[in-house]
Structure 1
Amino acid sequence: MTTTPTRTVPPYRSALHPARAGFGRLLRAEWTKFWTVRAWLLVLAIGAVVTVVVCQLGASGSSVSGGPPIVLGPGGEVVNDSFRFTHRALTGDGTVTARVTGLKDASGKGLGPWAKAGIIVKSSLKPGSPYAAVMATPGHGVRMQWNFTHDKAGPSSDPAEAPQWLRLQRLGGKLTGYASVDGRKWTRLGAVRLDGLPRTVQVGLFLAAPVNEVVHRSFGGTSEVAGSGQATGTFDHLTLRGSSTDSGWSATDVGAPDPDAPLGNSLPGASTVSPTGTYTLTGQGDIAPDENSPDMVQMSFQGVFVGLIFMVALGTLFVTTEYKRGLIRTTFTATPSRTKVLAAKATVIGLITFSTGLLSTAIGFTVAQKTLRSNGFKPPEFPDLSLLENPASRAVVGSAVLLSLVAVLALSLGVVLRSSAGTIATVVVLVILPQILSFALPLPVAQWLLRATPAAAFAIQQGLTYYPQVQHNCLPESGCYPLTPYHGLAVLAAYAAAAFLLAVWTLRRRDA
């Protein structure tokens, strides 16, 4: 019997370098695969259009009018600048020294942690003018602050318990702050330079007491507890070394609103001096950035919240469709390295959603800003925001990154779950549901959700700067997030990376 020899066909070997050209070939294949499926292109286009439209609709539903006069600081930011001031003119260089002997609530409602009693060198009595101050606070010890947005910590000392000596020295445009517990040994707090400081400035004692509002939210509703907005500070050993044209100390309520105006609810301050040289100041107000204005940047990105759903669907369908039709076996047969296939898919879907998101958010932000301007959000309270400058550029690019990371997250979970409906539902629960629940849950729980879930990434759209030297309630419904913009985006990136690694592990252990 004659046997026919069996011919062995050698397996196909690609001539491309497996590490370089091989991955490039995969990228081209996945890119081509995406652009040849019309349904995916339609989802991408609808998502981009919906993002722009909802940005516009959200802006058209917001308006502002009236309000108290706006005070701008040296940097053009909106500030609060109202306090009780016992002052004298200082011409040229000089030093002002005083001891804070007490700081207490003047109304019996509780003293806020950022009530301030100290000494100040101010360019003029005009609200918003440059200044440097050294102060004692009940909740944050001794501080040196200047030009509203700058703050530096000093010794931790409560003026209600122990006297604190304070000193400010002026040499030209340079202001140096000092603190002491005994008036002999001084600790240098810092030195700052105030640009444009005139030769004659106002120096002396000041007292400010912002209203201490604390918001509590539980399942039964929201309550607000307002502490005192008025405090009394006592000082002694007030001395001024330098040339002054004033014969004595004067008292002024800087920035006090007109009590006859419709919004005027300011209580007049008081200043007294005893025969022994003890000065008592009673007043209210604050010297700090104003954080109560609406966030015009965040208000321009409401469409991202809706457009995100389309990117979730796109990232999911990009892989689950192949599982549903069995085409994933063909892909893995042609390219046995499943990790490379997944990396190519993630790269392609990430680049496509980022590019589309960047275009749609840039257009959405531009049209929303135009609408907000027409609805009363105008300078100087709401300055013009350039698309190419922070915080607008950070929010636009960050929102595009957010959309792409969510698409990669959906792609990776699609590999794990192999179900379109299950994957979309899971990603929506992870990213969107925490944002919605944060509006109703108790604040500690809501803030935990916005720290620990991918919803933290929406912090990248914040346009307002929240300064640590300002007491504020970080409410999700006001657009405030407990994490900084980049830290919030990093949380989503960590989830996407973890999901990708889980998908790699699943591919290696499970049949296609």
Structure 2
Amino acid sequence: MTTPTVTPYRSPLPPARDGFPQLLHAEWTKLRTVRRWGFALLATVLVTMAVSVLSAFSGGSDVKGDRPPPPVGPAGAVVSDSFPFVHQTLTGDGSITARVSPLGGREGRPAEAWAKAGVVIKESTKPGSSYAAVMVTPGHGVRLQSDFTQDTAGGAVSRDRPHWLRLTRSGDEFTAYESADGSTWTKVGTTRLAGLPDTAQAGLFVATPGETMVQRQFGSTSVGGRPARVTAAFDQVTVDGGGGTWRQDVVGAVVGANGDPKGTPDSSTEKSGTWTLTGSGDVAPHTPEVDITQQSLSGAQIGLIPLVALSVLFITAEYRRGMILTTLTASPRRGRVLAAKAVVLAGVAFVAGLVAALLSFLVSEPELRDRMPNPLFYPDMALTDGPVLRAVVGTALLLAAVAVLALAVGALLRNTAAAVTLVVVVLVLPLVLLSGLPIGAAHWVMRLTPLAGFAVQRTLPEYEHVDTVCLPEEGCYPQGPWSGISMLCAWAIVLLGLAMWRLRRRDA
């Protein structure tokens, strides 16, 4: 008897594939086919723009009339350049040496930490002109500074003993030295001033930033200040290569009708070879009080709310409708399912955030700048400027990280209302409460919580040799932009890892 041949059944359908690209396609299909989720993405863009634009058009001074232009440094940035200057002409290579007394403040009080007195070789008496200077400061020792932004630290100085300083020029190279006794010299550092004319001005100067007073109570902060004054005496002054007589000027002073400085307490007097200078200005880069780029992107703080709701629903809706069973049956590797959701969400959130940030900056930044009391003190920022581009793209990255964090919280809690509330409270409520905390505690919150991610929007430069008051309610973050966004990303990655771990060990 012949055994019949049995042909195995073969389905006409192609074999199923559950690789990661297929998971990404499936999750993208889910996201784009739910209309209200698309509306949530659109709301993220519109709310971010609306809040930023309303902030731009509702604030500011809107001052009219002529406003004097500020001094501009060699790099084209606004600077502070005002101080009493006793000087003579230095042609070609040479040096200037002086012994500087301890600095004294106003009415016998200690001088400010960044008050300065020293010797300088400067292109001219014009505010903003190129210079190199070596100086003593009460709080930061000896410093070599040049062209407002360059700063090199030297040794410590005594608060009750004079200190010797020397600055030498050799072509475009300037070298600073210090000495405690005038015989044993230590090199502080070297700097270059390309293009400085052969003829420059070598002399003595003093300067000090203003006094700043901060009073902080729950719900309110008061920042006040007044001009400071510093006095120092210089003796045993020698100029190698100098010529002519000593001239006394006040750089950056407003000149009255008689040609004398108007309304300034700066002065310089000489007696028996000792010069005594009193000054109230400063020589430093100018730091704007308001970060216009950051303000133009402030709408992201509210625009993230609909994005958080979408991200949470992207996982909790499947639990509520029982669709998660189908998803996990089709792809049993649960961790990859959540990873695919995170990648898709992060991608669409990044694109939506980039569109929102671009439009917010382009519309809000010009208006914010025009409404400053003196717009000339604020640079006209372009999208191609490095800090601006970082802030705009960083805002998109910020929203992408928030989306992943919200997805992870939704997967952990599996409850839409609880997850949305928790994420919004963590990201938005601290922005309201920070003004009620001591500055130290507020800074710790801004460093260690997901709120740190907003630091990526800050574009104001920070200089070690410029004291600033970092107030949380003004959007000042104690860490750098990249460390801030890294902290938010770390929170998102850790929570996503916990959500994957829980998903593998708990029934759907």
Q: Same fold judged by TM-score > 0.5? A: yes
Q: Give, in angstroms, the shift of residue 209 of structure 1.
A: 1.5
Matching residue's letter, 1:298: Q
Q: Aligned residue for 1:154?
A: 154
1:294 positional shift? 2.2
User: 1:200 maps to what in 2?
Assistant: 199
> Hey, what does 2:489 align to over in structure 1?
493
Report if aligned partners of 1:434, 1:453 keep a CA contact under 8 Å in 2: no
> Is 1:49 equivalent to 2:49 in the alignment?
no
Are 1:442 and 2:432 matched, yes or no? no
Aligned partner of 2:130: which letter?
Answer: P
2:393 corresponding residue in structure 1: 397
* 2:384 match: secondary structure: coil
State the 1:186 CA deviation.
2.0
- Corresponding residue SS for 2:196: coil
Amino acid across the alignment from 1:191 = T
Please report the RMSD computed on the Cα atoms of aligned residues, expressed in angstroms.
2.4
Describe the SS at the equivalent of 1:104: coil
Structure 1 contact 253–268 (Cα < 8 Å) conserved:
no
2:498 alignment partner, one of 490, 502, 507: 502
SS in 2 for 1:103: coil
Q: Distance in 2 between matches of 1:131 and 1:312?
A: 52
Q: Displacement of 1:144 after TM fit?
A: 0.6
- Alignment match, 1:173: 172
2:240 counterpart letter in structure 1: R
Q: CA deviation at 1:227?
A: 7.4
Residue 265 of structure 1 and its aligned partner are, at CA, apart by 8.9
Partner residue of 2:410 out of 407, 414, 426:
414
Q: 1:383 to 1:106 in 2, by over 3 A?
A: closer
Tell me how far 1:40 sits from its aligned partner.
0.4
1:25 match: secondary structure? helix
By how many angstroms is 1:196 displaced? 2.4
Alpha-carbon offset, residue 353 of structure 1: 0.3
SS of match in other structure, 2:88: strand
Q: Is 2:55 the partner of 1:61?
A: no
The letter of the residue matching 2:382 is: S
| Distance in 2, Cα, partners of 1:377 & 1:15 | 69
What is the Cα deviation at residue 198 of structure 1?
Answer: 1.3
**Residue 459 of structure 1: which of 448, 455, 461 is its match?**
455
Say if 2:431 and 2:473, in contact at 8 Å, map to a contact too: no
Aligned to 1:302: 298
The residue number in structure 2 matching 1:328 is 324
CA contact (8 A) 2:292 2:369 kept: no
- Relative distance call for 1:266 and 1:463 in structure 2 (3 A) is farther
In 2, distance between residues paired with 1:424 and 1:220?
Answer: 27
Aligned residue type for 1:76? G
Q: Secondary structure at the match of 1:432?
A: helix
C-alpha distance in structure 2 between counterparts of 1:44 and 1:178, whole Å: 61
Q: 2:324 is matched by which residue type in structure 1? A: I
Larger deviation, residues 68-77 vs 378-387: 378-387
**Contact between 2:221 and 2:435, CA under 8 Å: does it hold in 1?**
no
Report the Cα offset of residue 185 of structure 1.
2.5
Instruction: Give the match's secondary structure for 2:235.
Output: strand
Find out whether 1:33 has 2:30 as its counterpart: yes
Instruction: Trace 1:466-485 onto structure 2 (pairs within 5 A).
Output: 466-485=462-481
Equivalent position of 2:356 in the other structure: 360
1:306, distance to aligned residue in structure 2 (A): 1.4
2:165/2:178 contact within 8 Å kept: yes
Q: Give the Cα separation in 2 of the matches to 1:259 and 1:478.
A: 37
Deviation at 1:133, TM superposition (A): 0.7
CA distance in 1, matches of 2:173, 2:87: 20
**Judging changes above 3 Å, is the alpha-carbon distance between structure 1 residues 399 and 232 closer, same or farther for their aligned structure 2 residues?**
same
Indicate the larger mover: 88-97 or 193-202.
193-202
C-alpha separation in 1, matches of 2:256 and 2:54: 39
> Does the residue aligned with 1:506 lie in a helix, a strand or coil?
helix
Partners of 1:412 and 1:267 in 2: how far apart?
61
In 2, distance between residues paired with 1:124 and 1:39?
65
Unaligned runs of 5+ in 2: 1-8
CA distance in 2, matches of 1:424, 1:132: 56
Q: Tell me what 2:377 maps to.
A: 381
**Cα offset, 1:377, TM superposition:** 8.1
State the Cα distance separating 1:462 from its structure 2 match. Answer: 1.1
Residue aligning to 1:107: 107
Match of 2:4 in 1: none
In structure 2, what is the Cα distance between the partners aligned to 1:26 and 1:341? Answer: 7
Task: Quote the offset at 1:270 in angstroms.
Answer: 2.1
Q: What is the DSSP-based 3-state SS (H/G/I as helix, E as strand, rest coil) of the residue aligned with 1:75?
A: coil
Q: Distance in 1 between matches of 2:219 and 2:108?
A: 28
Give the CA deviation at 1:486. Answer: 0.9
Match in the other structure for 1:4: none
Contact map agreement 1:297 1:392 (CA 8 A) in 2: yes
Name the SS for the 2:294 alignment partner: helix
The corresponding residue for 2:82 is: 82
Distance in 1, matches of 2:371 and 2:225, equals 31
Cα offset, 1:68, TM superposition: 5.7
Query: Within 2, Cα distance between the matches of 1:330 and 1:229?
Result: 72
